Amino acid sequence: MTATPTTRTVTPAELAHRLSADPELMVIDVRTPGEFETVHIPGSYNVPLDLLTAHTDTLAGRMGEHVVLVCRSGARAGKACEALQQSGLEGIDVLDGGIAAYQDAVGGVNRSGGRWAMDRQVRMTAGTLVLAGTVAGQLIHPRLGLFAGAIGAGLTYSALSDTCAMAALLAKMPWNRVSAEPTVETALVPDAVAAR
């Protein structure tokens, strides 16, 4: 039986130091293109988690020996780290606390637009749906209140499975679309980063 690879983390301050000291360091942001466009670490590459997991071997072959993975909180970056380690890539770290911790501790991020973070969009949508189901159940028909229970069940499943169908759906909404989404061909191209 082989040992499960461990996930190494790096603090925001350590990442800031490494960015200035290591020209070979690649910062890979695995959030959605919309989240990345809203706020990201300068010079980072956007390789959404679904793209990375679908093409792990190809993308791992294009990465250097020093990689730090970034997401909102660390969960998606952890999944990306596992996939890359299984592909044989070593020297991978995950930013502890994600982009939010980096913003708070270091600052120096690129911002554009006022798009909400995906977790905030999910909370707003779920809350609105639960409220609407509860009100409809009281005013229109009691069975409509079951809608609120269905949303609660979906959120519970989301937490247990560490997936989120609502976030996947919201990522496809017009306000979350970006002009050029990364592809397996463009995800790690330096000019693609500069164009954003």
Q: What is the pLDDT of residue 174?
A: 79
Lowest mean pLDDT: which of 20-34, 39-53, 85-99, 180-194? 180-194
Residue 124 banded pLDDT, cuts 50, 70, 90 = confident
Residues 6+ apart with CB under 8 A from 67: 25, 26, 27, 28, 84, 89, 91, 92, 93
pLDDT at 11 > cutoff 90: yes
pLDDT digits (tens, 9 = 90+) for 127-185: 889 998 889 888 898 888 888 888 888 888 888 877 778 888 887 887 777 767 777 77
Domain regions of the chain by residue span: 8-115+185-191, 118-174
Residue showing tokens 């499975």: 161
Q: How many Å apart are CA 91 and CA 5, to the nearest integer?
A: 11
- As beta bridge partners, residue 93 has 8, 68
Q: What is the pLDDT of residue 2?
A: 41
Share of the chain above pLDDT 70, in %: 91
Residue 27 banded pLDDT, cuts 50, 70, 90 = very high
pLDDT at 190 > cutoff 80: no
Share of the chain above pLDDT 90, in %: 23
Tokens standing for residue 10: 């790096």
pLDDT at 9 > cutoff 80: yes
Mean pLDDT of 22-32: 90
Q: What is the pLDDT of residue 70?
A: 95
Q: What is the pLDDT of residue 191?
A: 53
Residue 4 banded pLDDT, cuts 50, 70, 90 = very low
CATH code for the part of the protein at 8-115+185-191: 3.40.250.10
Burial of 92 (0-12, 13-18, 19+ CB in 10 A): buried
What is the Cβ-side half-sphere exposure of residue 123, based on CA atoms within 13 angstroms? 5
pTM more than 0.85: no
pLDDT at 196 > cutoff 60: no
pLDDT at 89 > cutoff 80: yes
Helix (H) / strand (E) containing 157:
helix 146-161
Q: What is the pLDDT of residue 113?
A: 67
